Structure 1
Protein backbone atom coordinates (compact mmCIF):
# COMPACT_ATOMS: atom_id res chain seq x y z
CA UNK A 1 0.00 0.00 0.00
CA UNK A 2 1.26 3.43 -0.90
CA UNK A 3 -0.11 5.63 1.85
CA UNK A 4 -3.72 5.74 0.68
CA UNK A 5 -6.36 4.48 3.09
CA UNK A 6 -6.63 0.73 2.41
CA UNK A 7 -9.91 -1.09 1.90
CA UNK A 8 -10.30 -4.14 4.15
CA UNK A 9 -13.46 -6.16 3.83
CA UNK A 10 -15.15 -9.52 3.61
CA UNK A 11 -17.90 -11.23 1.66
CA UNK A 12 -19.87 -13.82 3.61
CA UNK A 13 -20.89 -15.67 0.42
CA UNK A 14 -23.79 -18.08 1.15
CA UNK A 15 -23.29 -18.05 4.90
CA UNK A 16 -25.00 -16.68 8.02
CA UNK A 17 -28.61 -16.60 9.13
CA UNK A 18 -30.06 -13.24 10.12
CA UNK A 19 -29.30 -14.03 13.78
CA UNK A 20 -25.68 -14.86 12.94
CA UNK A 21 -25.39 -11.68 10.89
CA UNK A 22 -26.76 -9.66 13.81
CA UNK A 23 -24.22 -11.21 16.18
CA UNK A 24 -21.38 -10.32 13.80
CA UNK A 25 -22.63 -6.73 13.61
CA UNK A 26 -22.95 -6.50 17.40
CA UNK A 27 -19.29 -7.47 17.81
CA UNK A 28 -18.14 -5.15 15.03
CA UNK A 29 -20.20 -2.22 16.33
CA UNK A 30 -18.75 -2.65 19.84
CA UNK A 31 -15.18 -2.39 18.53
CA UNK A 32 -13.34 0.94 18.22
CA UNK A 33 -12.52 -0.19 14.67
CA UNK A 34 -16.16 0.41 13.71
CA UNK A 35 -15.25 4.10 13.58
CA UNK A 36 -11.89 3.46 11.91
CA UNK A 37 -10.61 6.20 9.60
CA UNK A 38 -7.19 4.69 8.87
CA UNK A 39 -8.81 2.04 6.66
CA UNK A 40 -12.13 1.71 4.86
CA UNK A 41 -13.87 -1.35 6.26
CA UNK A 42 -16.62 -3.10 4.32
CA UNK A 43 -18.89 -6.10 4.76
CA UNK A 44 -20.83 -7.92 2.02
CA UNK A 45 -23.61 -10.11 3.47
CA UNK A 46 -26.04 -12.34 1.56
CA UNK A 47 -29.18 -10.61 0.27
CA UNK A 48 -31.29 -12.08 3.09
CA UNK A 49 -29.32 -10.04 5.62
CA UNK A 50 -28.43 -6.97 3.54
CA UNK A 51 -31.03 -4.59 4.91
CA UNK A 52 -30.53 -5.70 8.52
CA UNK A 53 -26.74 -5.41 8.30
CA UNK A 54 -27.01 -1.99 6.62
CA UNK A 55 -29.28 -0.81 9.44
CA UNK A 56 -27.06 -2.33 12.14
CA UNK A 57 -23.92 -0.65 10.79
CA UNK A 58 -25.53 2.63 9.72
CA UNK A 59 -23.91 4.62 12.54
CA UNK A 60 -20.45 3.19 11.87
CA UNK A 61 -17.84 3.92 9.21
CA UNK A 62 -18.30 0.45 7.68
CA UNK A 63 -19.55 0.19 4.09
CA UNK A 64 -22.18 -2.48 3.40
CA UNK A 65 -22.55 -4.07 -0.01
CA UNK A 66 -24.33 -6.76 -2.00
CA UNK A 67 -22.80 -9.86 -3.58
CA UNK A 68 -24.32 -9.25 -7.01
CA UNK A 69 -26.77 -7.02 -8.87
CA UNK A 70 -28.46 -7.26 -12.24
CA UNK A 71 -27.90 -4.70 -15.00
CA UNK A 72 -31.62 -3.91 -15.37
CA UNK A 73 -33.50 -1.60 -13.02
CA UNK A 74 -36.54 -3.90 -12.94
CA UNK A 75 -38.22 -6.59 -14.99
CA UNK A 76 -38.92 -10.27 -15.49
CA UNK A 77 -35.63 -11.53 -14.08
CA UNK A 78 -36.76 -14.17 -11.61
CA UNK A 79 -34.34 -14.63 -8.73
CA UNK A 80 -32.28 -11.53 -9.53
CA UNK A 81 -31.77 -8.32 -7.54
CA UNK A 82 -31.60 -4.93 -9.24
CA UNK A 83 -29.24 -2.07 -8.34
CA UNK A 84 -32.28 -0.09 -7.18
CA UNK A 85 -33.17 -2.90 -4.79
CA UNK A 86 -29.61 -2.98 -3.47
CA UNK A 87 -29.85 0.76 -2.76
CA UNK A 88 -33.29 0.37 -1.22
CA UNK A 89 -31.89 -2.27 1.15
CA UNK A 90 -29.12 0.08 2.25
CA UNK A 91 -26.23 -1.24 0.17
CA UNK A 92 -23.74 1.24 -1.26
CA UNK A 93 -21.31 -1.21 -2.84
CA UNK A 94 -21.87 -4.19 -5.13
CA UNK A 95 -19.51 -7.10 -5.79
CA UNK A 96 -19.43 -8.00 -9.48
CA UNK A 97 -17.86 -10.84 -11.42
CA UNK A 98 -16.58 -13.05 -8.63
CA UNK A 99 -15.01 -16.22 -10.05
CA UNK A 100 -17.77 -18.36 -8.53
CA UNK A 101 -20.34 -16.31 -10.42
CA UNK A 102 -18.31 -16.63 -13.61
CA UNK A 103 -17.72 -20.38 -13.20
CA UNK A 104 -21.07 -21.63 -11.93
CA UNK A 105 -23.61 -18.99 -12.99
CA UNK A 106 -22.50 -18.09 -16.50
CA UNK A 107 -21.19 -14.62 -15.66
CA UNK A 108 -19.29 -13.32 -18.67
CA UNK A 109 -17.00 -10.39 -19.37
CA UNK A 110 -19.96 -8.75 -21.13
CA UNK A 111 -22.38 -9.11 -18.21
CA UNK A 112 -19.72 -7.89 -15.79
CA UNK A 113 -19.42 -4.73 -17.91
CA UNK A 114 -23.20 -4.27 -17.99
CA UNK A 115 -23.48 -4.72 -14.22
CA UNK A 116 -20.61 -2.32 -13.52
CA UNK A 117 -22.25 0.29 -15.74
CA UNK A 118 -25.61 -0.19 -13.97
CA UNK A 119 -24.05 0.07 -10.52
CA UNK A 120 -22.34 3.35 -11.42
CA UNK A 121 -25.56 4.68 -12.97
CA UNK A 122 -27.21 4.31 -9.58
CA UNK A 123 -24.33 5.68 -7.52
CA UNK A 124 -23.21 2.30 -6.21
CA UNK A 125 -19.52 1.46 -5.94
CA UNK A 126 -18.74 -1.59 -8.08
CA UNK A 127 -16.15 -3.98 -6.68
CA UNK A 128 -15.09 -5.81 -9.83
CA UNK A 129 -13.41 -9.18 -9.30
CA UNK A 130 -10.87 -10.48 -11.80
CA UNK A 131 -8.65 -13.53 -11.69
CA UNK A 132 -6.74 -16.22 -13.55
CA UNK A 133 -7.68 -19.89 -13.45
CA UNK A 134 -5.19 -22.56 -12.42
CA UNK A 135 -4.84 -23.56 -16.07
CA UNK A 136 -4.11 -19.97 -17.14
CA UNK A 137 -1.65 -19.52 -14.28
CA UNK A 138 0.24 -22.75 -15.05
CA UNK A 139 0.36 -21.88 -18.76
CA UNK A 140 1.82 -18.44 -18.02
CA UNK A 141 -1.30 -16.68 -19.28
CA UNK A 142 -2.18 -14.75 -16.12
CA UNK A 143 -1.42 -11.39 -17.76
CA UNK A 144 -3.62 -12.19 -20.77
CA UNK A 145 -6.54 -13.23 -18.56
CA UNK A 146 -6.33 -10.15 -16.36
CA UNK A 147 -6.00 -7.77 -19.30
CA UNK A 148 -9.05 -9.28 -21.01
CA UNK A 149 -11.20 -9.11 -17.88
CA UNK A 150 -10.04 -5.63 -16.86
CA UNK A 151 -10.53 -4.07 -20.28
CA UNK A 152 -13.97 -5.67 -20.62
CA UNK A 153 -15.05 -4.46 -17.19
CA UNK A 154 -14.01 -0.91 -18.06
CA UNK A 155 -15.56 -0.93 -21.53
CA UNK A 156 -18.78 0.77 -20.41
CA UNK A 157 -17.32 3.03 -17.75
CA UNK A 158 -17.17 6.71 -18.68
CA UNK A 159 -13.70 8.18 -18.25
CA UNK A 160 -15.32 11.17 -16.54
CA UNK A 161 -17.37 9.27 -13.95
CA UNK A 162 -16.68 10.33 -10.39
CA UNK A 163 -18.38 7.29 -8.83
CA UNK A 164 -15.75 5.22 -6.99
CA UNK A 165 -14.78 1.97 -8.73
CA UNK A 166 -12.77 -0.80 -7.10
CA UNK A 167 -11.07 -3.87 -8.52
CA UNK A 168 -10.02 -7.02 -6.69
CA UNK A 169 -7.44 -9.45 -8.04
CA UNK A 170 -8.49 -12.89 -6.85
CA UNK A 171 -6.55 -15.78 -8.39
CA UNK A 172 -9.12 -18.54 -8.91
CA UNK A 173 -6.55 -21.10 -7.74
CA UNK A 174 -6.18 -19.20 -4.48
CA UNK A 175 -9.84 -18.90 -3.52
CA UNK A 176 -11.83 -21.07 -1.17
CA UNK A 177 -11.12 -24.08 0.97
CA UNK A 178 -7.89 -25.68 -0.19
CA UNK A 179 -6.85 -22.58 -2.11
CA UNK A 180 -3.15 -21.73 -2.35
CA UNK A 181 -2.27 -18.19 -1.25
CA UNK A 182 -0.49 -16.29 -4.01
CA UNK A 183 3.13 -15.33 -3.40
CA UNK A 184 2.97 -11.69 -2.26
CA UNK A 185 5.52 -10.61 -4.85
CA UNK A 186 3.61 -12.33 -7.65
CA UNK A 187 0.36 -10.76 -6.46
CA UNK A 188 1.97 -7.33 -6.36
CA UNK A 189 3.26 -7.72 -9.94
CA UNK A 190 -0.24 -8.56 -11.18
CA UNK A 191 -1.74 -5.64 -9.28
CA UNK A 192 0.80 -3.26 -10.82
CA UNK A 193 -0.08 -4.54 -14.29
CA UNK A 194 -3.83 -4.20 -13.67
CA UNK A 195 -3.32 -0.64 -12.42
CA UNK A 196 -1.38 0.21 -15.57
CA UNK A 197 -4.18 -1.19 -17.75
CA UNK A 198 -6.78 0.82 -15.82
CA UNK A 199 -4.85 4.05 -16.20
CA UNK A 200 -4.26 3.33 -19.88
CA UNK A 201 -7.98 2.75 -20.47
CA UNK A 202 -9.65 5.47 -18.40
CA UNK A 203 -6.86 7.92 -17.71
CA UNK A 204 -6.78 7.60 -13.93
CA UNK A 205 -5.81 5.00 -11.35
CA UNK A 206 -8.31 2.95 -9.37
CA UNK A 207 -7.73 0.99 -6.17
CA UNK A 208 -6.96 -2.70 -6.70
CA UNK A 209 -7.48 -5.01 -3.73
CA UNK A 210 -6.08 -8.51 -3.30
CA UNK A 211 -8.25 -11.49 -2.35
CA UNK A 212 -7.44 -15.17 -2.21
CA UNK A 213 -6.73 -17.12 0.98
CA UNK A 214 -5.98 -13.97 2.95
CA UNK A 215 -5.45 -15.01 6.57
CA UNK A 216 -3.82 -13.81 9.81
CA UNK A 217 -0.47 -15.28 8.72
CA UNK A 218 -0.17 -13.48 5.37
CA UNK A 219 -2.32 -10.36 5.73
CA UNK A 220 0.53 -8.08 6.80
CA UNK A 221 3.02 -9.10 4.11
CA UNK A 222 0.27 -8.75 1.48
CA UNK A 223 -0.84 -5.37 2.81
CA UNK A 224 2.73 -4.06 2.70
CA UNK A 225 3.08 -4.67 -1.04
CA UNK A 226 3.21 -1.30 -2.83
CA UNK A 227 0.51 -2.11 -5.41
CA UNK A 228 -1.99 -3.81 -3.10
CA UNK A 229 -4.56 -1.21 -2.03
CA UNK A 230 -6.50 -3.40 0.36
CA UNK A 231 -7.59 -6.90 1.24
CA UNK A 232 -10.75 -8.79 0.31
CA UNK A 233 -11.00 -11.57 2.88
CA UNK A 234 -12.99 -14.78 2.80
CA UNK A 235 -13.45 -17.40 5.49
CA UNK A 236 -10.79 -15.93 7.81
CA UNK A 237 -13.09 -12.95 8.36
CA UNK A 238 -16.45 -14.72 8.67
CA UNK A 239 -16.02 -14.58 12.43
CA UNK A 240 -16.15 -10.98 13.60
CA UNK A 241 -13.20 -11.49 15.91
CA UNK A 242 -11.14 -12.90 13.06
CA UNK A 243 -12.04 -9.98 10.83
CA UNK A 244 -11.20 -7.40 13.45
CA UNK A 245 -7.96 -9.19 14.24
CA UNK A 246 -6.81 -8.95 10.63
CA UNK A 247 -7.81 -5.29 10.43
CA UNK A 248 -5.84 -4.54 13.60
CA UNK A 249 -2.76 -6.43 12.37
CA UNK A 250 -2.77 -4.54 9.09
CA UNK A 251 -3.27 -1.14 10.69
CA UNK A 252 -0.51 -1.75 13.22
CA UNK A 253 1.85 -2.84 10.43
CA UNK A 254 1.25 0.10 8.09
CA UNK A 255 0.85 2.90 10.63
Structure 2
Protein backbone atom coordinates (compact mmCIF):
# COMPACT_ATOMS: atom_id res chain seq x y z
CA UNK A 1 0.00 0.00 0.00
CA UNK A 2 1.52 3.33 -1.04
CA UNK A 3 1.71 6.50 0.96
CA UNK A 4 1.59 10.18 0.08
CA UNK A 5 4.88 11.77 -1.06
CA UNK A 6 7.57 11.92 1.62
CA UNK A 7 7.37 15.43 2.98
CA UNK A 8 6.66 16.50 6.53
CA UNK A 9 3.14 17.76 7.15
CA UNK A 10 2.44 20.54 9.65
CA UNK A 11 -1.03 21.80 10.51
CA UNK A 12 -2.14 24.66 12.73
CA UNK A 13 -5.61 25.07 14.22
CA UNK A 14 -6.28 28.50 15.67
CA UNK A 15 -9.46 27.28 17.36
CA UNK A 16 -11.19 30.40 18.75
CA UNK A 17 -8.19 31.99 20.43
CA UNK A 18 -7.76 35.01 18.15
CA UNK A 19 -10.12 37.83 17.21
CA UNK A 20 -10.74 38.51 13.55
CA UNK A 21 -8.12 41.23 13.05
CA UNK A 22 -5.55 39.27 15.03
CA UNK A 23 -6.23 36.19 12.90
CA UNK A 24 -5.71 38.09 9.65
CA UNK A 25 -2.55 39.73 10.97
CA UNK A 26 -1.17 36.36 12.10
CA UNK A 27 -1.94 34.81 8.70
CA UNK A 28 -0.13 37.64 6.94
CA UNK A 29 2.91 37.15 9.16
CA UNK A 30 2.86 33.38 8.56
CA UNK A 31 2.58 33.98 4.81
CA UNK A 32 5.70 36.18 4.87
CA UNK A 33 7.59 33.57 6.86
CA UNK A 34 6.49 30.74 4.57
CA UNK A 35 7.23 32.56 1.33
CA UNK A 36 10.83 33.01 2.44
CA UNK A 37 11.37 29.53 3.86
CA UNK A 38 13.11 27.18 1.38
CA UNK A 39 11.63 24.01 2.92
CA UNK A 40 8.08 25.26 2.40
CA UNK A 41 8.75 26.84 -0.98
CA UNK A 42 10.53 23.68 -2.15
CA UNK A 43 7.85 21.29 -0.94
CA UNK A 44 9.92 19.48 1.70
CA UNK A 45 7.43 20.66 4.29
CA UNK A 46 3.70 21.22 3.77
CA UNK A 47 1.91 23.69 6.05
CA UNK A 48 -1.85 24.09 6.36
CA UNK A 49 -3.72 26.52 8.61
CA UNK A 50 -7.25 26.23 10.00
CA UNK A 51 -8.59 29.65 11.07
CA UNK A 52 -12.11 30.35 12.28
CA UNK A 53 -14.88 30.49 9.66
CA UNK A 54 -15.14 34.32 9.34
CA UNK A 55 -11.42 34.55 8.59
CA UNK A 56 -11.31 31.99 5.77
CA UNK A 57 -11.57 34.44 2.87
CA UNK A 58 -9.08 37.03 4.20
CA UNK A 59 -6.75 34.17 5.20
CA UNK A 60 -6.88 32.83 1.64
CA UNK A 61 -5.96 36.30 0.41
CA UNK A 62 -3.09 36.48 2.89
CA UNK A 63 -1.74 33.10 1.74
CA UNK A 64 -2.15 33.82 -1.98
CA UNK A 65 1.55 34.33 -2.73
CA UNK A 66 2.82 31.76 -0.26
CA UNK A 67 2.90 27.95 -0.08
CA UNK A 68 0.54 27.86 2.93
CA UNK A 69 -2.65 25.88 2.35
CA UNK A 70 -6.00 26.76 3.86
CA UNK A 71 -8.44 24.60 5.77
CA UNK A 72 -11.42 24.79 8.11
CA UNK A 73 -12.00 23.50 11.63
CA UNK A 74 -15.29 21.73 10.90
CA UNK A 75 -18.00 21.18 8.30
CA UNK A 76 -21.57 19.91 8.13
CA UNK A 77 -22.32 16.47 6.70
CA UNK A 78 -24.96 17.73 4.26
CA UNK A 79 -23.98 19.76 1.20
CA UNK A 80 -26.92 22.18 1.28
CA UNK A 81 -30.28 22.76 2.90
CA UNK A 82 -32.04 24.35 5.89
CA UNK A 83 -29.21 23.94 8.41
CA UNK A 84 -28.96 27.24 10.25
CA UNK A 85 -25.46 28.19 11.34
CA UNK A 86 -23.71 25.32 9.55
CA UNK A 87 -21.04 25.45 6.83
CA UNK A 88 -20.95 22.91 4.02
CA UNK A 89 -18.17 21.18 2.14
CA UNK A 90 -19.03 22.88 -1.18
CA UNK A 91 -18.89 26.28 0.53
CA UNK A 92 -15.48 25.50 2.03
CA UNK A 93 -14.12 24.24 -1.27
CA UNK A 94 -15.42 27.32 -3.09
CA UNK A 95 -13.78 29.53 -0.43
CA UNK A 96 -10.40 27.96 -1.23
CA UNK A 97 -10.07 25.32 1.49
CA UNK A 98 -7.98 22.23 0.87
CA UNK A 99 -8.24 20.62 4.32
CA UNK A 100 -10.95 20.26 6.96
CA UNK A 101 -10.70 18.97 10.52
CA UNK A 102 -13.26 16.42 11.72
CA UNK A 103 -13.83 14.67 15.01
CA UNK A 104 -11.76 16.80 17.37
CA UNK A 105 -12.13 15.82 21.02
CA UNK A 106 -13.66 19.21 21.82
CA UNK A 107 -16.36 18.67 19.20
CA UNK A 108 -17.07 15.26 20.68
CA UNK A 109 -17.17 16.56 24.26
CA UNK A 110 -18.90 19.93 23.85
CA UNK A 111 -21.27 19.08 20.99
CA UNK A 112 -21.76 15.36 21.58
CA UNK A 113 -20.45 14.35 18.18
CA UNK A 114 -20.36 10.58 17.83
CA UNK A 115 -18.18 8.33 15.70
CA UNK A 116 -21.06 8.17 13.21
CA UNK A 117 -21.18 11.98 13.03
CA UNK A 118 -17.45 11.98 12.33
CA UNK A 119 -17.98 9.37 9.63
CA UNK A 120 -20.63 11.49 7.91
CA UNK A 121 -18.39 14.56 8.03
CA UNK A 122 -15.43 12.59 6.69
CA UNK A 123 -17.54 11.43 3.76
CA UNK A 124 -18.73 15.00 3.14
CA UNK A 125 -15.14 16.21 3.09
CA UNK A 126 -13.96 13.55 0.68
CA UNK A 127 -16.83 13.91 -1.80
CA UNK A 128 -16.18 17.65 -1.95
CA UNK A 129 -12.48 17.35 -2.67
CA UNK A 130 -11.30 18.28 0.82
CA UNK A 131 -8.65 16.34 2.69
CA UNK A 132 -10.14 15.33 6.04
CA UNK A 133 -7.94 15.68 9.10
CA UNK A 134 -9.51 12.93 11.20
CA UNK A 135 -8.81 13.33 14.91
CA UNK A 136 -8.55 10.17 17.00
CA UNK A 137 -7.34 9.55 20.53
CA UNK A 138 -7.94 7.80 23.82
CA UNK A 139 -9.54 9.58 26.77
CA UNK A 140 -7.25 8.34 29.53
CA UNK A 141 -3.62 7.29 29.67
CA UNK A 142 -3.22 3.60 28.83
CA UNK A 143 -0.63 1.28 27.27
CA UNK A 144 0.30 1.77 23.64
CA UNK A 145 -1.54 -1.29 22.33
CA UNK A 146 -4.76 -0.38 24.15
CA UNK A 147 -4.56 3.22 22.95
CA UNK A 148 -3.96 2.05 19.39
CA UNK A 149 -7.02 -0.20 19.58
CA UNK A 150 -9.18 2.75 20.61
CA UNK A 151 -7.80 4.87 17.78
CA UNK A 152 -8.14 2.27 15.04
CA UNK A 153 -11.70 1.61 16.18
CA UNK A 154 -12.54 5.30 15.86
CA UNK A 155 -10.79 5.48 12.53
CA UNK A 156 -12.55 2.44 11.09
CA UNK A 157 -15.93 4.06 11.76
CA UNK A 158 -14.80 7.47 10.53
CA UNK A 159 -13.61 6.09 7.20
CA UNK A 160 -16.45 3.61 6.75
CA UNK A 161 -19.08 5.83 5.12
CA UNK A 162 -16.65 7.32 2.62
CA UNK A 163 -15.35 3.87 1.73
CA UNK A 164 -18.90 2.62 1.22
CA UNK A 165 -19.50 5.50 -1.18
CA UNK A 166 -16.45 4.55 -3.22
CA UNK A 167 -14.39 7.61 -2.26
CA UNK A 168 -11.31 5.71 -1.17
CA UNK A 169 -8.87 7.25 -3.65
CA UNK A 170 -8.79 10.57 -1.80
CA UNK A 171 -5.96 11.53 0.57
CA UNK A 172 -6.64 11.56 4.29
CA UNK A 173 -4.75 12.82 7.33
CA UNK A 174 -5.05 11.08 10.69
CA UNK A 175 -4.27 13.33 13.65
CA UNK A 176 -3.43 11.28 16.71
CA UNK A 177 -4.39 13.44 19.69
CA UNK A 178 -4.61 11.62 23.02
CA UNK A 179 -7.36 13.52 24.80
CA UNK A 180 -5.46 13.55 28.10
CA UNK A 181 -2.57 15.42 26.43
CA UNK A 182 -4.65 18.18 24.77
CA UNK A 183 -3.91 21.45 26.52
CA UNK A 184 -1.46 19.77 28.91
CA UNK A 185 1.90 21.22 29.86
CA UNK A 186 3.68 18.43 27.99
CA UNK A 187 2.79 16.13 25.09
CA UNK A 188 2.58 12.38 25.45
CA UNK A 189 5.93 10.63 25.80
CA UNK A 190 8.01 10.08 22.69
CA UNK A 191 7.72 6.30 23.09
CA UNK A 192 3.94 6.48 23.38
CA UNK A 193 3.53 8.72 20.35
CA UNK A 194 5.81 6.60 18.19
CA UNK A 195 4.17 3.38 19.33
CA UNK A 196 0.59 4.43 18.66
CA UNK A 197 1.45 6.11 15.36
CA UNK A 198 3.28 2.97 14.23
CA UNK A 199 0.12 0.95 14.89
CA UNK A 200 -1.93 3.52 12.94
CA UNK A 201 0.49 3.39 10.02
CA UNK A 202 0.37 -0.41 9.97
CA UNK A 203 -3.44 -0.45 10.18
CA UNK A 204 -3.85 2.09 7.40
CA UNK A 205 -1.42 0.10 5.28
CA UNK A 206 -3.70 -2.95 5.41
CA UNK A 207 -6.75 -1.11 4.08
CA UNK A 208 -7.84 -1.65 0.49
CA UNK A 209 -9.01 1.95 0.18
CA UNK A 210 -7.52 5.30 1.13
CA UNK A 211 -3.98 4.42 0.05
CA UNK A 212 -2.81 8.03 0.39
CA UNK A 213 -2.53 8.84 4.07
CA UNK A 214 -0.48 10.71 6.63
CA UNK A 215 -0.35 10.24 10.39
CA UNK A 216 0.48 13.34 12.42
CA UNK A 217 0.59 14.01 16.15
CA UNK A 218 -1.25 16.69 18.10
CA UNK A 219 -1.86 17.19 21.80
CA UNK A 220 0.44 19.89 23.21
CA UNK A 221 2.80 19.46 20.26
CA UNK A 222 5.43 22.16 20.14
CA UNK A 223 9.07 23.07 19.47
CA UNK A 224 11.58 20.27 19.93
CA UNK A 225 9.11 17.39 19.66
CA UNK A 226 9.43 16.55 15.99
CA UNK A 227 13.17 16.01 16.26
CA UNK A 228 12.53 13.24 18.81
CA UNK A 229 10.01 11.37 16.66
CA UNK A 230 10.74 8.75 14.04
CA UNK A 231 9.32 8.05 10.61
CA UNK A 232 6.18 6.57 12.17
CA UNK A 233 5.02 10.17 12.53
CA UNK A 234 4.58 12.23 9.36
CA UNK A 235 4.28 15.60 11.08
CA UNK A 236 2.56 17.63 13.77
CA UNK A 237 -0.84 19.19 14.38
CA UNK A 238 -0.11 22.39 16.28
CA UNK A 239 -2.19 24.61 18.52
CA UNK A 240 -1.11 27.33 20.91
CA UNK A 241 2.62 26.73 20.36
CA UNK A 242 2.19 28.07 16.82
CA UNK A 243 0.72 31.39 17.97
CA UNK A 244 4.29 32.72 17.99
CA UNK A 245 5.25 32.81 14.31
CA UNK A 246 8.95 32.56 15.14
CA UNK A 247 8.27 29.39 17.10
CA UNK A 248 6.34 28.05 14.10
CA UNK A 249 9.28 28.91 11.84
CA UNK A 250 11.52 26.92 14.18
CA UNK A 251 9.22 23.90 13.91
CA UNK A 252 9.36 24.20 10.12
CA UNK A 253 13.16 24.11 10.44
CA UNK A 254 12.87 20.92 12.53
CA UNK A 255 10.56 19.40 9.93
CA UNK A 256 13.00 20.17 7.13
CA UNK A 257 15.92 18.74 9.10
CA UNK A 258 14.18 15.34 9.31
CA UNK A 259 14.46 14.93 5.54
CA UNK A 260 18.15 15.75 5.22
TM-score for both structures, normalised by structure 1? 0.90
Paired residues for 1:88-107 under 5 Å? 88-107=94-113
**Residues 88 and 252 (structure 1 numbering): CA distance in 2 closer, same or farther, change over 3 Å?**
same
Partner of 2:30: 28
How far off is 1:56 after superposition? 1.2
Partner of 1:18: 20
| In structure 2, distance between residues paired with 1:39 and 1:139 | 28
Q: Deviations over 1:211-235 (max 9, x none)?
A: 111111323213xx12101111111
Q: Does structure 2 retain, via aligned residues, the 8 Å contact 1:151–1:201?
A: no
List alignment gaps of at least 5 residues for structure 1.
none
Aligned residue-pair number: 250
| In structure 2, distance between residues paired with 1:218 and 1:250 | 10
Paired residues for 1:33-72 under 5 Å? 33=37, 35-72=41-78
TM-score for both structures, normalised by structure 2? 0.89
Mean Cα deviation higher: 158-167 or 98-107: 158-167
Among 140, 147, 150, the alignment partner of 2:152 is 147
Q: Does structure 2 retain, via aligned residues, the 8 Å contact 1:15–1:46?
A: no
How far off is 1:140 after superposition? 7.1
| In structure 2, distance between residues paired with 1:103 and 1:139 | 23
Partner of 1:172: 179
List alignment gaps of at least 5 residues for structure 2.
none
| In structure 1, distance between residues paired with 2:143 and 2:228 | 24
Q: Does structure 1 retain, via aligned residues, the 8 Å contact 2:32–2:66?
A: no
**Residues 151 and 179 (structure 1 numbering): CA distance in 2 closer, same or farther, change over 3 Å?**
farther
How far off is 1:139 after superposition? 10
Partner of 2:241: 236
Q: Deviations over 1:175-231 (max 9, x none)?
A: 11x354111121111111112222223353521111111111323213xx1210111
| In structure 1, distance between residues paired with 2:145 and 2:226 | 25
| In structure 1, distance between residues paired with 2:249 and 2:108 | 29
The question of 1:126 aligning with 2:128 is answered: no
The question of 1:209 aligning with 2:209 is answered: no
Mean Cα deviation higher: 25-34 or 210-219: 25-34
**Residues 181 and 55 (structure 1 numbering): CA distance in 2 closer, same or farther, change over 3 Å?**
same
How far off is 1:36 after superposition? 4.5
| In structure 1, distance between residues paired with 2:81 and 2:212 | 35
Mean Cα deviation higher: 84-93 or 102-111: 84-93
**Residues 168 and 75 (structure 1 numbering): CA distance in 2 closer, same or farther, change over 3 Å?**
same
Partner of 2:88: 82
| In structure 2, distance between residues paired with 1:165 and 1:24 | 27
Among 160, 169, 174, the alignment partner of 1:162 is 169
Partner of 2:191: 185
| In structure 2, distance between residues paired with 1:23 and 1:139 | 40
Mean Cα deviation higher: 26-35 or 84-93: 26-35
